[in-house]
């Protein structure tokens, strides 16, 4: 089933342009800075916001165009917001039952019970929404949306009030049960970890535009994304462990740019891991360093250079046909007399294991 959506929204200082058509597969993450249009995108798809410029089609069903509009309750869409709506005069069980369709298109009782258990709902059933915490309200709203067996499930940071450990249990369960029921998910998140571990494709929101891609790592590498409380560019690498050095608690991993040595004695040979290399954690030299503590050095060509207003320059390095970002001072660029197509050595000081 394909989703086709065209938006061209301008309100004061906010703008969002989208012209997308793509197949819905399991989880599609929506990722970008706050205020970049992720919620606006989902609300238009749900019919909660209306724009004369919007054209939206899910499969063969037109939701909206310049002459036509289907109301939210007729779109067969599940929507869970960060601050979800629950009926205050109903208890949790009644709120959930409200979402169960009266037609034959509903979850088997065993799956309903399994969902209650995995979302930690069972003990909350007799409670009223006013007696629930923010995280509990989110889990109840998520369950109600799942049992409604919608054509598509829109999740706008639905677990922001849930602890990290519980999230790691809930997200894969939601993905599995929705996959088994053929319910695709659009999932807004600010977590790189969640995107890399659970997403199948991504819509990135940046500079007023929404762009779709199946190449998650490449998309994230091209964005300025939050990582360890800093806004820094970087590169993601898919790797596999080729050897383990228990004595020094190190592992050697194979990647597209070559082998890297990193800390990680808990890993096993053959295990797949994702790495992130921050652009600020790469130094540049014109020759390969000899007497240095840096263990990971790769030669490549400068493909492009982008200077910013803070005295820093980002280099896009072509290393074995993969693009690696390095960020150094503009003064260093001038001192080394760097230019496009120069051969340089990228010295990677730190690598983070993402998943």
Percent of the chain topping pLDDT 90: 74
Homologous superfamily of the 2-223 domain (CATH): P-loop containing nucleotide triphosphate hydrolases (3.40.50.300)
pLDDT at 230 over 60: no
pLDDT of residue 354: 78
Cβ neighbors of 169 (< 8 A, separation 6 or more) are 118
Cα(75)–Cα(30) distance, integer angstroms: 20
Question: Model pTM?
Answer: 0.76
Residue 227 has pLDDT above 50, yes or no: no
According to the model, what pLDDT value does residue 353 have? 84
Q: What is the pLDDT of residue 281?
A: 93
What are the pLDDT digits (tens) for 196-217? 889 999 999 999 999 999 988 8
What does DSSP assign to residue 108? -
Among candidate residues 314, 281, 315, the one with its CA nearest the CA of residue 301: 315
Q: What is the mean pLDDT of residues 279-294?
A: 93
pLDDT in tens, 149-198: 999 999 999 998 888 889 989 999 999 999 999 999 999 998 888 898 89
Give the model confidence (pLDDT) of 85-95 as tens digits.
999 999 999 99
Of 194, 280, 191, which is closest to residue 234 (Cα–Cα)?
280
The 10s digit of each residue's pLDDT in 34-51 is 899 999 999 999 999 999
Mind listing the pLDDT tens digit for each residue in 96-111? 999 888 766 678 889 9
> What's the topology of domain 273-353?
OB fold (Dihydrolipoamide Acetyltransferase, E2P) (2.40.50)
Query: Which of 9-23, 172-186, 221-235 comes out lowest in average pLDDT?
Result: 221-235
Could you give the 3-state DSSP secondary structure of residue 8? strand
DSSP state of 337: T
Give the span between the Cα atoms of 269 and 277, in whole angstroms. 21
Domains of the chain, by residue range, sit at 2-223, 273-353
Sequence-distant (6+) residues with CB within 8 A of 346 are: 282, 283, 284, 297, 298, 299, 300, 317, 319, 324, 326
Tens digit of each residue's pLDDT (9 = 90 or more) over 314-354: 999 999 999 999 999 999 999 999 999 999 999 999 998 87
Asked whether the predicted pLDDT for residue 225 surpasses 70, the reply is no
Output the pLDDT for position 308.
87
- Return the exposure string of 2-23: e unless at least 16 CB atoms fall within 10 Å of the residue's CB, then b: ebebbbebeeeeeebbbeeeee
């Amino acid at each position: 089933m394909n989703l086709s959506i065209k938006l061209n929204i301008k309100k004061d200082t906010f703008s969002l342009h989208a012209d997308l058509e793509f197949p819905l597969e399991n989880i599609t993450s929506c990722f970008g800075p706050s205020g970049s249009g992720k919620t606006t995108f989902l609300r238009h798809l749900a019919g909660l916001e209306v724009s004369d410029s919007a054209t939206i089609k899910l499969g063969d069903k037109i939701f909206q165009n310049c002459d036509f509009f289907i109301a939210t309750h007729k779109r067969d869409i599940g929507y869970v917001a960060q601050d979800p709506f629950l009926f205050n005069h109903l208890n949790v069980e009644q709120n959930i039952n409200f979402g169960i369709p009266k037609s034959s298109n509903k979850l088997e009782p065993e799956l309903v019970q399994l969902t209650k258990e995995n979302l930690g709902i069972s003990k909350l059933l007799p409670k009223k929404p006013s007696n629930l915490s923010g995280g509990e309200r989110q889990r109840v709203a998520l369950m109600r949306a799942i049992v409604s067996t919608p054509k598509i499930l829109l999740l706008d940071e639905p677990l922001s009030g849930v602890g990290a450990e519980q999230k790691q249990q809930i997200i894969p369960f939601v993905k599995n049960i929705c996959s088994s029921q053929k319910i695709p998910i659009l999932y807004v998140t600010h977590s790189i970890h969640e995107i890399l571990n659970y997403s199948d494709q991504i819509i990135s929101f940046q500079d007023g535009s929404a762009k779709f891609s199946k190449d998650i790592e490449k998309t994230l590498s091209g964005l300025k994304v939050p990582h360890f409380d800093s806004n820094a560019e970087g590169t993601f690498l898919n790797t596999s462990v080729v050897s383990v050095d228990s004595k020094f608690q190190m592992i050697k991993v194979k990647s597209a740019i070559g082998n890297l040595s990193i800390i990680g004695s808990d890993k096993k040979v053959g295990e797949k891991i994702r790495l992130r290399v921050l652009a600020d954690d790469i130094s540049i030299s014109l020759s390969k360093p000899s007497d240095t503590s840096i263990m990971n050095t790769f030669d490549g060509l400068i493909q492009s250079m982008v200077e910013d207003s803070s005295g820093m320059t980002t280099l896009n390095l072509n290393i074995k046909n993969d693009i690696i970002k390095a960020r150094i001072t503009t003064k260093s660029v001038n001192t080394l007399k760097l230019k496009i197509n120069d051969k340089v050595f990228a010295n990677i000081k730190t690598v983070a294991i993402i998943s």
